[in-house]
């Protein structure tokens, strides 16, 4: 067996090791010396890796390989039944930055019931979306306003901010939504669009105050 094959086998075996430190080193080794034969192993490991910092290294290792090889395989992962597989594939596509992946990010991903998948989809979408499709993307994103906890809401607001002024009309419509939680998040996001330096927590608390002082709405 050639030294190259030996190194490849060692790296693939390392990705399966019970030690997160060994898995991290294996991913680092593959990224340092990219080998197309390791791409499938890296992607498969992304779907099951429990440690965030190892997943991050796996993504980095994938970005070190040719997009011609990785992007089609990552797109295939977007159809996986495994939420982590979808989430990590979306995250990695956002890091690769190849706009050919854009059509593979669907409304189903942007509204996925799993918060991690949805957040990864939002981040990837605002990076890969063509300019002419930004308004339509904004309209889909605003349907998720009010969703989840602080981190999820912050992630969505950041995605809308990344779209810039094209997101303002859709956000403005949502500021009159009949659901209080949605209305609050929309008002906070609108404030951030106008004043990007405002802290999210401050914008959200201000939005809650505005909603409380305004006409009472019916919440589902």
pLDDT digits (tens, 9 = 90+) for 16-55: 999 999 999 999 999 999 999 999 999 999 999 999 999 9
pLDDT band at 218, cuts 50/70/90?
Answer: very low
Half-sphere CA count of 29, side-chain side, radius 13 A: 18
Cα separation, 184 vs 176, whole angstroms = 9
**Whether 4 contacts 35, CB under 8 Å:** yes
Q: What angle do CA 129, 175, 105 make, to 5 degrees?
A: 20
- pLDDT tens figures, 134-191: 999 999 999 999 999 999 999 999 999 999 999 999 999 999 999 999 999 999 999 9
Q: What is the DSSP letter of 197?
A: T
Q: Quick one: average pLDDT of 89-94?
A: 98
Tokens 């201000």 — which residue? 206
Report the range of poorest mean pLDDT among 13-22, 103-112, 188-197, 199-208.
199-208
pLDDT band at 108, cuts 50/70/90?
Answer: very high
Burial class (CB in 10 A: 0-12, 13-18, 19+), 148: middle
Cα separation, 35 vs 39, whole angstroms = 7
Tokens 């209305």 — which residue? 183
160, 166, 168, 169 alpha-carbon torsion, rounded to 10°: -130
The model carries a pTM of 0.90
Report the percent of the chain where pLDDT is more than 70.
Answer: 94
């Amino acid at each position: 067996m050639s030294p190259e094959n030996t190194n490849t086998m060692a790296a693939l075996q390392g990705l399966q090791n019970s030690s997160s430190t060994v898995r991290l080193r294996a991913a680092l080794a593959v990224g340092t010396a990219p080998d197309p034969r390791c791409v499938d192993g890296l992607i498969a490991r992304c779907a099951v890796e429990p440690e965030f910092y190892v997943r991050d290294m796996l993504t980095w290792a994938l970005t070190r390989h040719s997009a011609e090889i990785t992007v089609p395989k990552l797109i295939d992962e977007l159809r996986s039944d495994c939420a982590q597989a979808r989430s990590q594939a979306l995250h990695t596509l956002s890091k690769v930055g190849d706009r050919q992946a854009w059509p593979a990010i669907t409304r189903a991903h942007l509204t996925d019931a799993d918060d991690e998948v949805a957040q990864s989809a939002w981040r990837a979408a605002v990076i890969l979306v063509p300019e002419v499709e930004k308004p339509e993307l904004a309209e889909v994103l605003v349907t998720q306003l009010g969703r989840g906890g602080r981190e999820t809401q912050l992630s969505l607001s950041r995605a809308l901010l990344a779209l810039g002024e094209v997101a303002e009309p859709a956000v403005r419509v949502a500021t009159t939504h009949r659901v209080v939680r949605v209305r609050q998040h929309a008002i906070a996001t609108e404030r951030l669009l106008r004043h990007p330096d405002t802290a999210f927590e401050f914008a959200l608390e201000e939005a809650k105050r505005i909603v409380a002082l305004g006409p009472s709405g019916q919440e589902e």
